[in-house]
């Protein structure tokens, strides 16, 4: 018998068009992991209700996330690709874990505080308990590795706490999940104006989306924040310049990156040239994903088939975990 494959779980909220941060923080690793691991990837439609409760937009957004994952190279025959709301077991585990999550620790989460600042009129309990639902998403499959961007690091620490509390109180059931980026630091792509991270719903003019046209990409990169250049050799890069280099490293050749690194270090860099090169490399990178995603997102019959297939497999795993959780908690009366 071969060694059992490790279980991987990760999700993306259906709140709009995916962007470079989603791609390099999450999807790129999904694709790299699909051969070696037992992967559960899902569209987090329940999570989207905390900030985007528009019923008319939901179906299109869910289809879009599925299509963009598949267009990026995810193979629904190799991974279990599903929609969160198709798995009611997640909601039951969420309820159980809520009994182990404390108001104080939830209120301290920086992403919660950010959302409160952005939407002071909609501070709902779903927003507060986002890390609990996220933990249920992972623990329902007894997931171990979680490919995510840096912004999710703290949520995962909470997932480990909830897993530990459950195990201590009721008996061992859950491994403690860890963030995963093939041994490298987790990725954070800042927005091009230097204000916060690239995001589906904030900073839209300074975020590069997987459906941006070549011209839109050129325009956005042209407007990216820079300055008059380094004043001394081998200076430290300001964060918005470091971000441009981070992005360049993801889509340009190593020679190109080295050329501009050298130019930065000897103070000869012209940011206009760097942006032009970056824009062309970025457009070439996004183009095939955009074109494929457009075709897939309108193929409702195909996407419905994928969703059904994924839901069936994900429910099997979820139901098995929930049976164990109920037994350990004493919820087995018949
Ligand atoms: N800027 C980013 N850099 C690196 N990784 C990122 N991720 C998101 N933004 C960046 C990663 O993408 C995955 C899916 O994120 P999500 O949609 O579930 O969560 P989110 O934080 O709500 O994403 P957005 O894009 O910022 O959406 P909105 O604007 O709707 O809130 C996660 O692995 C995340 O780390």
Return the minimum-mean-pLDDT range out of 120-124, 199-203, 223-227, 258-262. 199-203
Distance of alpha carbon 277 from alpha carbon 100, whole angstroms:
51
Are 265 and 133 contained in the same domain? Answer: no
Whether residue 154 sits in one domain with residue 289: no
Same domain for 215 and 183:
no
Predicted pLDDT of residue 4: 86
Is residue 197 annotated as part of the catalytic site, yes or no?
A: yes
Quote the tokens at residue 156. Answer: 């995962």
**In the block, residue with structure tokens 């963030």:** 179
Q: What proportion of the chain, given as a percentage, has pLDDT over 70?
A: 99
Structure tokens at 290: 């955009």
Q: In 3-state terms, what secondary structure has residue 323?
A: helix
Q: Which two three-digit tokens encode residue 200?
A: 């589906």
Give the binding-site residues of ligand 1, using a 6 Å CB cut-off: 12-13, 15, 21-22, 25-26, 44, 148-149, 151-152, 187-189, 197-202
Active site includes 313? no
Of all protein residues, the one whose alpha carbon is nearest to atom 24 of ligand 1 is 199
Considering the domain architecture, whether residues 139 and 258 belong to the same structural domain is answered as no
Span 70-85, average pLDDT: 98
CA of 149 to the centre of ligand 1 (A): 7
CA pair distance 27, 315, nearest whole angstrom: 22
Q: State the average pLDDT for the chain.
A: 97
User: Do 12 and 121 share a domain, yes or no?
Assistant: yes
Q: Which two tokens stand for residue 169?
A: 């109180």
**Which of 5, 108, 115, 276 is the catalytic position?**
115
> How remote is the CA of residue 188 from the centroid of ligand 1, in Å?
9
Judgement on whether residues 173 and 270 belong to the same structural domain of the protein: no
E-strand ranges in 52-211 read 80-83, 145-146, 178-179
- Structure confidence by residue, pLDDT tens digits, 251-293: 999 999 999 999 999 999 999 999 999 999 999 999 999 999 9
Q: Whose CA is nearest to atom 22 of ligand 1?
A: 13
Using most ligand atoms within 8 A of CB, pick from 26, 31, 115, 206 the residue to mutate for ligand 1: 26
Query: Catalytic one among 5, 56, 108, 197?
Result: 197
Q: Residue 277's CB: how many other CB atoms inside 10 A? A: 17
The answer to whether residue 45 sits within a structural domain is yes
The pLDDT assigned to 161 comes to 98
Whether 198 is covered by a domain: the verdict is no
217 and 244 belong to one structural domain: yes
pLDDT of residue 250: 97
Query: Is residue 63 located within the same domain as residue 132?
Result: yes
As a whole number, mean pLDDT of residues 203-229 equals 97
The reported pLDDT for the residue numbered 328 is 98
What are the pLDDT digits (tens) for 118-134?
Answer: 899 999 999 999 999 99
User: Is 276 noted as a catalytic residue in this protein?
Assistant: no
How far from the centroid of its chain's Cα atoms is residue 300's Cα? 24
Q: Does 192 map to a domain?
A: no
Does 198 belong to an annotated binding site?
yes
> What CATH number does residue 94 fall under?
3.40.50.620
Give domain status of residue 194, yes or no: no
Mutation pick for ligand 1 pocket among 20, 22, 247 (CB with most ligand atoms within 8 Å): 22
CATH of the domain at 236: 1.10.240.10
Q: Give every CB contact of residue 127 below 8 A, 6+ residues apart in sequence.
A: 50, 51, 112, 115, 116
Q: Is residue 323 part of a domain?
A: yes
**Across residues 8-31, what is the average pLDDT?**
97
pLDDT computed for residue 329 by the predictor = 98
Into how many domains does the chain fold? Answer: 2
Residue among 115, 101, 198, 107 nearest 150 (CA): 198
Q: Is residue 122 part of a domain?
A: yes
Distance 199 CA to ligand 1 centre (A): 6
Residue entry with tokens 């280099």: 245
Out of 145, 200, 225, 275, pick the active-site residue.
Answer: 200
Does 138 lie in the same domain as 46?
yes
Angstrom distances, CA of residue 53 to CA of 25, 45, 59, 110: 25, 10, 12, 22
Query: Domain range holding 284?
Result: 204-294
Locate the ligand 1 atom nearest the alpha carbon of residue 111 and give its number: 21
Q: Which residues pair with 93 in a beta bridge?
A: none
307 pLDDT tier (thresholds 50, 70, 90): very high
Q: Give the residue whose CA is nearest to atom 10 of ligand 1.
A: 21
Segment 49-75 shows an average pLDDT of: 97
With the most atoms of ligand 1 within 8 angstroms of its CB, the residue from 13, 18, 19, 192 to mutate is 13
The secondary structure of 34-79, three-state, reads CCCCEEEEEEEHHHHCCCCCCHHHHHHHHHHHHHHHHHHCCCCCCC
Predicted confidence at residue 201, as pLDDT, reads 87
Based on the domain organization, do 136 and 218 belong to the same domain? no
Looking at the structure, tell me whether residues 236 and 96 fall in a common domain. no
Atom of ligand 1 nearest to the CA of 26: 33
Domain membership of residue 1 (yes or no) is no
Q: What is the DSSP string of 218-240?
A: HHHHHTS---S--SSTTPPPPHH
Binding site annotation covers 111? no
Q: Is 73 annotated as a binding residue?
A: no
The answer to whether residue 222 is domain-embedded is: yes
Asked if residue 2 has pLDDT above 70, the reply is no
Pair 116, 142 in one domain: yes
């Amino acid at each position: 018998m071969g060694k059992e494959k490790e279980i991987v779980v990760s999700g993306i909220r259906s709140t709009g068009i995916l962007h470079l941060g989603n791609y390099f923080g999450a999807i790129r690793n999904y694709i790299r992991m699909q051969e070696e691991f037992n992967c559960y990837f899902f569209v987090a439609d329940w999570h989207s209700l905390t900030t985007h409760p528009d019923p008319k937009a939901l179906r299109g957004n869910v289809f879009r996330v599925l299509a963009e994952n598949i267009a990026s190279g995810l193979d629904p025959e190799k991974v279990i690709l599903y929609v969160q709301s198709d798995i009611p077991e997640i909601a039951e585990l969420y309820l159980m874990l809520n009994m182990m999550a404390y108001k104080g620790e939830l209120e301290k989460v920086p992403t919660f505080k950010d959302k409160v600042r952005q939407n002071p009129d909609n501070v709902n309990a779903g927003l507060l308990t986002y890390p609990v639902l996220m933990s249920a998403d992972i623990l329902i499959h007894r997931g171990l590795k979680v490919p995510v961007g840096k912004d999710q690091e703290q949520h995962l620490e909470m997932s480990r706490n909830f897993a530990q509390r459950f195990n201590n109180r009721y008996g061992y059931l859950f491994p403690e999940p860890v963030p995963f980026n093939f041994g490298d630091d987790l990725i954070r792509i800042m927005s091009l104006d230097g204000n916060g991270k690239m995001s589906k719903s904030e900073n839209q003019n300074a975020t590069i989306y997987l459906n941006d046209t070549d011209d839109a990409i050129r325009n956005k990169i042209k407007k990216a924040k820079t300055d008059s250049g380094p004043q001394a050799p081998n200076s430290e890069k300001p964060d918005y310049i470091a971000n441009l280099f981070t992005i360049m490293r993801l889509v340009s050749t190593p020679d190109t990156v080295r050329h501009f690194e050298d130019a930065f270090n000897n103070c000869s860099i012209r940011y206009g040239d760097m942006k032009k090169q970056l824009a062309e490399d970025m457009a070439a990178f996004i183009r095939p994903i955009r074109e494929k995603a457009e075709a897939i997102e309108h193929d409702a019959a195909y996407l419905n088939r994928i969703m059904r297939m994924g839901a069936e497999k994900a429910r099997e795993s979820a139901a098995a975990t929930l049976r164990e959780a109920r037994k350990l908690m004493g919820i087995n009366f018949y």
